[in-house]
Chain A
Amino acid sequence: MTEYNFAYLDEQTKRMIRRAILKGLAIPGYQVPFASREMPMPYGWGTGGVQVSAALLTPDDTFKVIDQGADDTTNAVSIRSFFERTAGVATTTATSEASVIQTRHRIPEDALTENQILVYQVPIPEPLRFLEPRESETRKMHSLEEYGLMHVKLYEDISRHGHIATSYAYPVKVEGRYVMDPSPIPKFDNPKLGNMAAIQLFGAGREQRIYALPPYTQVVSLDFEDHPFEASKADHPCGLCDATDSYLDEVIIDDQGGRMFVCSDTDYCTARQAAGHKGKDAA
């Protein structure tokens, strides 16, 4: 512990990130530029989320990290041990016990409380980036609330596929003002973004942006009157815990086309199994 400053980053860097977080909370959905630092992990491994977490952790926190819902993947394990080592914080895999949850591409199934903070790792924070590559232009589009292009993209989905085919990183509008990328969470999770009791912070390390949703913020997934937004998931129960309300991963189990569907939220699934729920594929 003595080898590092508390939570790895130096104090001046933390102040810079903290100022960006406060402005982000004051302007929900707006991407605040920040001077992202090199972290001891490559870009794309959650450096944005790690910097946001480092700026807000206190020694009293209990920290949880999930990677697509799972506590036990390489990314989640290494970030968790990074903060165990540099901040000395307690860690957990139980959603309800965590005060700060860093996540890659999922929102936990259990509803979060006012005493929790959800930190997202974001690869591309700009929802308009694949439609307009120039930052100077997308910035102008946000300032003018010029979001027609995004609706054209969703419309093209409909004309090509008959429905909106975007299934993750589904764009949302925050408080009727900024169109925001919710990070590559499945659109199944989109309805949880709005009116959440917890503070939601988004960190994009490579792209050097921080943005935020205060609690109880209005978040609307973009759609059309005749093609309303629909939160979708695989139409199966979980193979291990039989849950029908959770987001599922499809797992290939042999080379004969065999597959099973399991909860992507490992903590949710484990807790249900411990409570006696059993799916058809459970051992």
Chain B
Amino acid sequence: MEAQTLSGGFDNPAVQSSHAFRNIMEAMARPGQIHEIKGAEPPAPLSIAGGTVLLTLCDTETPVYLAGNADNDEVRAWLAFHTGAPLTGPSRAMFAIGDWKALMPLNAYRIGTSEYPDRSATLIVECAELAASGAKLRGPGIKSQAALSLPEIRAFQSNQALFPLGLDFIFTNGVRLAALPRSTEVA
């Protein structure tokens, strides 16, 4: 087993994951707001924020889909060692991680059922840039208006139209992340 597989996890899991979760929660509760999280040092091409989200939320109960170049031997071994999460395809994944193009098409993921809309996937989108500008956001968690650099707009509009069904997104870049739940209107 490679040394890289064993390292790069939390060295104080209870405390580090509590800080990481608080930032993920704040991001999900306030769409568009950018937060910093760290603690994990995952193998390339995963970002620190992306890896930290996986360590904070994934375990043996959460099937994960590694999309595109996120799916390599180092990442597989690292995720298996630190979380034990089973790997799967998009149709059964609770979490998916990769860049926007690799994660397509969105209709491959679970959007929940009308009685259990929570049984839907959360997509961790690794972004080349992440800024509080661009697409305009409105909805729960946003006082008047927020803005976020989104990879595109149409996809998020049709996802919002599915509400209360739909996918939730976490955008990561380096140590930074922002989130876009299905409830947010994008223009």
- Listed in ascending order, the chain A residues whose CB lies under 8 Å from chain B are 5-7, 11-12, 14-16, 18-28, 30, 32-33, 55-60, 139-140, 142-144, 175, 177-178, 199, 212-218
> When the two chains form their complex, are residues B115 and A143 in contact, meaning their CB atoms are under 8 A apart?
yes
> When the two chains form their complex, are residues B30 and A22 in contact, meaning their CB atoms are under 8 A apart?
no
Q: List 23 A-B contacts (CB under 8 A).
A: A6-B15, A11-B17, A15-B57, A18-B24, A19-B62, A19-B94, A22-B28, A22-B57, A23-B168, A26-B28, A26-B182, A27-B163, A27-B183, A30-B118, A33-B118, A58-B15, A143-B113, A199-B26, A199-B29, A212-B29, A214-B181, A215-B29, A215-B30
Q: Does B140 contact A (CB under 8 A)?
A: yes
CB distance from A203 to the nearest CB of B (A): 14
> When the two chains form their complex, are residues B19 and A58 in contact, meaning their CB atoms are under 8 A apart?
yes
CB distance from A12 to the nearest CB of B (A): 6
Question: Which residue of B is nearest A212, CB measured?
Answer: B29
Question: Which residue of B is nearest A200, CB measured?
Answer: B29
Q: Which residues of B contact A59 (CB under 8 A)?
A: 15, 18
- Listed in ascending order, the chain B residues whose CB lies under 8 Å from chain A are 13-15, 17-19, 21-22, 24-26, 28-30, 56-59, 61-62, 94, 113-118, 120, 122, 139-143, 163-164, 168, 181-183
Cα distance A20–B168 when bound, in Å?
Answer: 13
Q: Do most interface residues of chain A lie in helix, strand or loop, or is the interface mixed? A: mixed
> When the two chains form their complex, are residues A22 and B168 in contact, meaning their CB atoms are under 8 A apart?
yes
CB distance from B71 to the nearest CB of A (A): 22
> When the two chains form their complex, are residues A27 and B115 in contact, meaning their CB atoms are under 8 A apart?
no
> When the two chains form their complex, are residues A21 and B14 in contact, meaning their CB atoms are under 8 A apart?
no
Question: Which residue of A is nearest B142, CB measured?
Answer: A216
Contacts known (A55-B21, A57-B18, A178-B164); A25 close to B141, Cβ less than 8 A: yes
CB distance from B108 to the nearest CB of A (A): 19
Contacts known (A5-B14, A26-B28); A18 close to B142, Cβ less than 8 A: no
Q: Which residues of B contact A18 (CB under 8 A)?
A: 21, 24-25, 56-57
> When the two chains form their complex, are residues A16 and B61 in contact, meaning their CB atoms are under 8 A apart?
yes
> When the two chains form their complex, are residues B21 and A56 in contact, meaning their CB atoms are under 8 A apart?
yes
> When the two chains form their complex, are residues B25 and A27 in contact, meaning their CB atoms are under 8 A apart?
no
Which 4 A-B residue pairs are closest in the complex by CB-CB distance? Answer: A26-B181, A214-B141, A6-B14, A143-B114
Question: Which residue of B is nearest A216, CB measured?
Answer: B143
Q: Which residues of B contact A7 (CB under 8 A)?
A: 14, 18
A214 is contacted by which of B14, B19, B29, B168 (Cβ under 8 Å)? B29
CB distance from A61 to the nearest CB of B (A): 9
Cα distance A140–B30 when bound, in Å?
Answer: 29
Q: Which residues of B contact A6 (CB under 8 A)?
A: 14-15, 18
> When the two chains form their complex, are residues B141 and A215 in contact, meaning their CB atoms are under 8 A apart?
yes
Q: Which residues of A contact B58 (CB under 8 A)?
A: 15
> When the two chains form their complex, are residues B183 and A28 in contact, meaning their CB atoms are under 8 A apart?
yes
> When the two chains form their complex, are residues A139 and B115 in contact, meaning their CB atoms are under 8 A apart?
yes
Q: Which residues of A contact B139 (CB under 8 A)?
A: 175
Question: Which residue of B is nearest A99, CB measured?
Answer: B22
CB distance from A36 to the nearest CB of B (A): 15
B13 is contacted by which of A11, A21, A30, A57 (Cβ under 8 Å)? A11
CB distance from B2 to the nearest CB of A (A): 25
Question: Which residue of A is nearest B23, CB measured?
Answer: A58
Q: Which residues of B contact A60 (CB under 8 A)?
A: 19
> When the two chains form their complex, are residues B122 and A22 in contact, meaning their CB atoms are under 8 A apart?
yes
Contacts known (A23-B118, A214-B141); A12 close to B59, Cβ less than 8 A: yes
Cα distance A6–B14 when bound, in Å?
Answer: 6
> When the two chains form their complex, are residues A11 and B140 in contact, meaning their CB atoms are under 8 A apart?
no
CB distance from B110 to the nearest CB of A (A): 12
> When the two chains form their complex, are residues B115 and A56 in contact, meaning their CB atoms are under 8 A apart?
no
B181 is contacted by which of A11, A25, A143, A178 (Cβ under 8 Å)? A25
Contacts known (A12-B59, A15-B56, A56-B22); A27 close to B17, Cβ less than 8 A: no
Cα distance A7–B17 when bound, in Å?
Answer: 12
> When the two chains form their complex, are residues B18 and A25 in contact, meaning their CB atoms are under 8 A apart?
no
CB distance from A18 to the nearest CB of B (A): 5
Contacts known (A59-B18, A214-B141, A216-B140); A25 close to B117, Cβ less than 8 A: no
